[in-house]
Amino acid sequence: MSDLRIDAMVPKLANDSGEAAARAEELGFDGVWTPEMDNDAFLPHPVIADRTEEIQQGTRIALSFTRSPMALAYTAWDLAQYTDGRFVLGLGTQVKGHNERRFSVDWESPGPRLREVVESLRHIFDVFQGEADLDYEGDHYSFSLMTDNFNPGPIDHPDVPIYIAGVNEYNIRLAGELCDGLDMHVFNTPGYTDDVIAPTVAEGADRGERSLEDVSLSASPFVVTGETEDERERSRREVRRRIAFYGSTRTYHDVLEHHGWKSVGEELHELSKDGEWEEMADLVTDEMVSTFAIEAPPEELLAEAEAVYGGIADRVVLPLDHGEAFLNE
């Protein structure tokens, strides 16, 4: 067996998240993560902490540009204290349209700006811990005012791990240089991770005088599973649709090109303009599904994840609803 950690996404509502996290801990999962879609990624974590004892918990991911780094720092500091150091701050940028049109925030130099988010967070954590005076000056953020009334003060677990989501080369390299982990996109393959992502993270780590071993690579692959072949076929069809959906977006075409499927991505993009979703799914071949997805009956899913991602990733997110079959002894 490899040292691969097995994690789960939990439901967005705090009560449901707490129950799911408690079950995940009982089954032996290593971590639980909360997304930020039509909900706030942070709100479930006090409930998760109340209902668990040891499992790691974090956001995967919380949006970075819609909150000031100071606001992120206060929230992460509170959760680090409340969880006794179990909290991981996972951040991502989202895309230009959602930043500008859904949140009405500026979209400018997202890579360098994300760098400043991470840098300023580290600095603010040092200020809270009493190890520095607030004095951060960047191109996008500057912080210089902190009075005693607004400083929460030191805690027992001040080294809050920061993971970032990364698709482009800059952010992947940034994870290696400054962060504790990289949350890899679901539209990814083991081959692309090994050939492209890991070397790019290692390049960033070398710039930061670190090593690849200092950065946790977290995979969240498509999963095809089910107790019966009919269930697995339904799961397979859903994965085809999701591959087609992501494959229609040019941002992700590097992954397709790596495997020789660039022309498929271009065709998917054209079909998406007309909303031809079923026809798009038909373009996703069995080979593509097997390359992108982990596929196995529930009782074999853990072994398959170990075989596919062991030695390539450090963590992998698997579905909690089949956890009893592959984790509970």
Q: List, as one string, the DSSP characters of 96-109.
A: HHIIIIIS----S-
* 322 vs 329: CA distance, rounded Å: 13
Q: 268-273 — which CB contacts under 8 Å span 24+ positions? A: 268/244, 272/245, 272/248
Asked whether residue 242 falls in the same domain as residue 127, the answer is no
Q: Per-residue pLDDT tens, the chain, 329 aa: give them.
A: 468 999 999 988 878 999 999 999 999 999 999 999 999 999 999 999 999 999 999 999 999 999 999 999 999 999 999 999 999 999 999 999 999 999 999 999 999 999 999 999 999 999 999 999 999 999 999 999 999 999 999 999 999 999 999 999 999 999 999 999 999 999 999 999 999 999 999 999 999 999 999 999 999 999 999 999 999 999 999 999 999 999 999 999 999 999 999 999 999 999 999 999 889 999 999 999 999 999 999 999 999 999 999 999 999 999 998 777 777 64
* 96 vs 325: CA distance, rounded Å: 40
Cα 155 to chain centroid, rounded: 26
Asked whether residue 170 falls in the same domain as residue 235, the answer is no
Asked whether residue 156 falls in the same domain as residue 209, the answer is yes
> What is the per-residue burial (b if ≥16 Cβ within 10 Å, else e) of 261-272?
beebbebbeebb
- β-strand partners of 89: 162
Using alpha carbons only, what angle is made at residue 212 by residues 296 and 197, rounded to the nearest 5 degrees? 55
Q: Could you tell me the two tokens for 157?
A: 């677990």
Cα 96 to chain centroid, rounded: 18
Domain, as residue range, for 287? 228-293
DSSP classification of residue 313:
B
For residue 132, the domain's CATH number is 3.20.20.30
Asked whether residue 284 falls in the same domain as residue 298, the answer is no
* 130 vs 110: CA distance, rounded Å: 30
Q: Could you tell me the two tokens for 329?
A: 């002894």
Asked whether residue 32 falls in the same domain as residue 97, the answer is yes
When divided into structural domains, the chain yields a total of 2
Asked whether residue 286 falls in the same domain as residue 301, the answer is no
Asked whether residue 268 falls in the same domain as residue 152, the answer is no
Q: Tell me which residue of 54, 50, 17, 53 sits closest to 34, measured CA to CA.
A: 17
- β-strand partners of 136: 143
Asked whether residue 248 falls in the same domain as residue 314, the answer is no
Asked whether residue 268 falls in the same domain as residue 321, the answer is no
Contact 196, 189 (CB under 8 A): no
Asked whether residue 299 falls in the same domain as residue 319, the answer is yes
Asked whether residue 178 falls in the same domain as residue 252, the answer is no
Asked whether residue 165 falls in the same domain as residue 185, the answer is yes
Q: Could you tell me the two tokens for 128?
A: 């809270």
Contacts of 196 (CB under 8 A, 6+ apart): 254, 258
Contact 14, 43 (CB under 8 A): yes
Residues 88-120: tens digit of each pLDDT:
999 999 999 999 999 999 999 999 999 999 999
